[in-house]
Amino acid sequence: MIDIKFLRENPDVVKENIKKKFQDHKLPLVDEVIELDAEARKTQQEADNLRAERNKLSKQIGALMGQGKKDEAEEVKKQVGAQAAKLEELAEKEKELNEKVIKIMMTIPNIIDPSVPIGKNDEENVEIQKYGDPVVPEFEIPYHTDIMESLDGIDLDSARKVAGNGFYYLMGDIARLHSAVISYARDFMIDRGFTYCIPPFMIRSNVVTGVMSFDEMEAMMYKIEGEDLYLIGTSEHSMIGKFIDTIIPEAELPKTLTSYSPCFRKEKGAHGLEERGVYRIHQFEKQEMVVVCKPEESPMWFDKLWQNTVDLFRSLDIPVRTLECCSGDLADLKVKSIDVEAWSPRQKKYFEVGSCSNLGDAQARRLKIRVNSENGKYFAHTLNNTVVAPPRMLIAFLENNLQADGSVKIPVALQPYMGGKTEIRKA
């Protein structure tokens, strides 16, 4: 969420940013919020003046009573009573205006970084760099669920009966591989100095609206009926929420955390063949990384975070590339974002396996995450990145490690987490 003072003083900058996001329908909101804000401040000033007048009259009442002028004191009391009603009216008006201002401000997109390429959607994202050599084997690579089924590793039919589409049972060595990847990713991040955390898997609505835009919330979140609780779509939500309404001593920054959680997502809309199976699902598990830091350090941490994901995939011999997300592909709270994509030998192209985001002070401003320094308080910057999400990771892993005889080799780094196994094959 943008600082209202910044918007007030730089409306043209905010409007230009909205245009770069290709959200021209939001342009009128800038002028609307400026008018509402001005009216709210005018109302507040009127209320403050009235309070000052009341205080003056209250002192006058005391003086009159002390002089024995009860009748005159009673007349002044009537004025104070009338002002109390007016003050209540002004307070209600101010509250209503401020609520409208905040509601609009939460829909105006954050100011994107100057380095972000301008584009309408993900088709205009820009490739930055490739890591590793993409290989297409001479033999045909089956669809990922076919690979899993050949190894007795997945049961989609039973899952449909139990929970519907978008769910699965992982079985045997494939289930073990799933857990091994999560454990390896956890230790990988701990070795890089991050503190391991298992967060709550449900969060309240004020945390939801603090960490994501309304559009994201509607498209992703499952609400618990009858309670002010939502299932998390990623552990970033509850990890950033951990710092809600806190003042962090500057000396304690940065906060670097890596978290495990299940994730729950609606995943609305129809998807193509390649997004079936375990690519887009309603429930999955994930290892995440989160940083809370000083504003001047967030660009450095941004680069460190996406590099962690690249390094993890390369340690498992999976070729990847990084893509800079264009302006139109950025969610409203994001300042800058880079996607990490893994190579798919079957599709002969890359596909997304993680996303790294710098949100500036947008989440901190909404959640009141402040830092206490020698020069006063300021809002922290927050960043997040996917370490690994095994459903998509499994697709990349299986396709890149499948052998001609149908077995799947286990890279050296993962073998300790698989009980020393060097390959997976049907029993």
The b-or-e profile of 254-265 (16+ CB within 10 A means b, else e) is: bbbbbbbbebbb
Quick check: is 113 in a domain?
no
CATH code for the domain of 93: 1.10.287.40
> Mean of the pLDDT values across residues 312-329?
97
Q: Hey, which residues does 169 pair with through a beta bridge?
A: 155
- First-to-last CA distance in the chain? 55
Quote the CA–CA distance of 186 and 150 in Å, as a whole number.
Answer: 29
Of the candidates 313, 322, 345, 310, the one whose C-alpha atom is nearest the C-alpha of residue 135 is: 345
Give me the pLDDT at residue 85, please: 77
**Domain range enclosing 43:** 4-105
Place of tokens 């003056």: 56
Are both 189 and 332 inside the same structural domain? yes
Please tell me the chain's helix, strand, coil percentages from 3-state DSSP, rounded to the nearest 5.
Answer: 50, 20, 30
Give me the pLDDT at residue 48, please: 82
> Mean of the pLDDT values across residues 214-222?
80
Q: pLDDT tens for residues 236-258?
A: 999 999 999 999 999 999 999 99
How much of the chain, in percent, has pLDDT values that exceed 90? 79
Quick check: is 276 in a domain?
yes
Quick check: is 19 in a domain?
yes
Quote the CA–CA distance of 290 and 273 in Å, as a whole number.
Answer: 32
CB atoms within 10 A of CB 416: 14
Return the sign of the alpha-carbon dihedral for residues 37, 42, 48, 54. Answer: negative
Quote the CA–CA distance of 53 and 395 in Å, as a whole number.
Answer: 71
Give me the pLDDT at residue 270, please: 44
Q: pLDDT tens for residues 40-92?
A: 999 989 888 877 776 676 666 666 666 666 666 666 666 666 677 777 888 88
Give me the pLDDT at residue 73, please: 62
Coil, strand, or helix at residue 27?
Answer: helix
Quick check: is 367 in a domain?
yes
CATH code for the domain of 150: 3.30.930.10
> Mean of the pLDDT values across residues 110-125?
96
Quick check: is 365 in a domain?
yes
Are both 138 and 96 inside the same structural domain? no
Quick check: is 273 in a domain?
yes
Are both 177 and 92 inside the same structural domain? no
> Mean of the pLDDT values across residues 316-332?
96
Helix (H) or strand (E) holding 240: helix 235-241
Of the candidates 400, 389, 157, 168, the one whose C-alpha atom is nearest the C-alpha of residue 278 is: 168
Question: Does 272 score more than 50 pLDDT?
Answer: no
Are both 163 and 201 inside the same structural domain? yes
Are both 209 and 357 inside the same structural domain? yes
Last residue of one domain, picked from the residues 71, 105, 139: 105
Last residue of one domain, picked from the residues 44, 78, 105: 105
Question: Does 217 score more than 90 pLDDT?
Answer: no
Are both 53 and 134 inside the same structural domain? no
Are both 179 and 221 inside the same structural domain? yes
For 181-304, strand residue ranges (E) read 195-197, 202-203, 222-223, 230-231, 246-249, 255-264, 283-293
Quick check: is 131 in a domain?
yes
Give me the pLDDT at residue 295, please: 97
Give me the pLDDT at residue 280, please: 80
Are both 254 and 303 inside the same structural domain? yes
For 265-333, strand residue ranges (E) read 283-293, 320-324
Contacts of 150-159 with C-beta under 8 Å, sequence gap 24+, read: 150/406, 150/426, 151/406, 151/408, 151/424, 151/425, 151/426, 152/426, 152/427, 153/177, 153/424, 154/278, 156/277
Question: Does 212 score more than 80 pLDDT?
Answer: yes
Q: pLDDT tens for residues 146-158?
A: 999 999 999 999 9
Pairing of strands 320-324, 126-131: antiparallel
Give me the pLDDT at residue 77, please: 64
Are both 96 and 142 inside the same structural domain? no
CA 189 to mean position of chain CA atoms: 19
Total count of domains within the chain: 2
Give me the pLDDT at residue 277, please: 74
Give me the pLDDT at residue 273, please: 42
C-beta of residue 10 within 8 angstroms of C-beta of residue 33 = no
Give me the pLDDT at residue 59, please: 67
Q: pLDDT tens for residues 71-83?
A: 666 666 666 666 7
- CB contact set of 90 (below 8 Å; sequence gap of 6+): 43, 46, 47, 50
Are both 81 and 133 inside the same structural domain? no
Are both 222 and 288 inside the same structural domain? yes
Q: pLDDT tens for residues 9-24?
A: 999 999 999 999 999 9
Last residue of one domain, picked from the residues 105, 140, 166: 105
Quick check: is 114 in a domain?
no
Q: pLDDT tens for residues 394-417?
A: 999 999 999 999 999 999 999 999
Give me the pLDDT at residue 132, please: 96
Give me the pLDDT at residue 275, please: 46
Are both 284 and 148 inside the same structural domain? yes
